[in-house]
Amino acid sequence: GQQVMQIPQYQHVQEGEDFTTYCNSSTTLSNIQWYKQRPGGHPVFLIQLVKSGEVKKQKRLTFQFGEAKKNSSLHITATQTTDVGTYFCAATSGGSYIPTFGRGTSLIVHP
């Protein structure tokens, strides 16, 4: 089945530093979604990207979908302690309605 590789698995940053997580697939994706899960919580939908080369921003968060629709990234500018959590990408391809989740990147922000 489809594989979605997400890196890094963990990222420690000092508050104020930037953070980026990447998702890569060997197949062309229909769309990609990003979720955030706080420790002990549940995944919360952040955004969905559909178009090739799409870039979307939400305050300090920037989401990109690659031109070939095989990779995506989430970038956080000037991290805050409230950004702590695990960020997951979830991708669908072909005619499937079942997203494949990456393993997630756990962000730890040190004050």
Partner 1 sequence: NAGVMQNPRHLVRRRGQEARLRCSPMKGHSHVYWYRQLPEEGLKFMVYLQKENIIDESGMPKERFSAEFPKEGPSILRIQQVVRGDSAAYFCASSGDEGSTDTQYFGPGTRLTVL
Contact positions vs partner 1 (CB under 8 A): 6, 30-31, 33, 35, 41-45, 48, 50, 88, 90, 92-93, 95-104, 106
- Residue 70, classified by CB atoms within 10 Å of its CB into exposed (0-12), middle (13-18) or buried (19+), is middle
H or E, element range at 90:
strand 85-92
* Cβ 80 to partner 1 shortest distance, Å: 23
* Cβ 18 to partner 1 shortest distance, Å: 24
Q: How many CB atoms lie within 10 A of CB 12?
A: 12
Nearer to partner 1, 45 or 68 (CB): 45
Nearer to partner 1, 6 or 71 (CB): 6
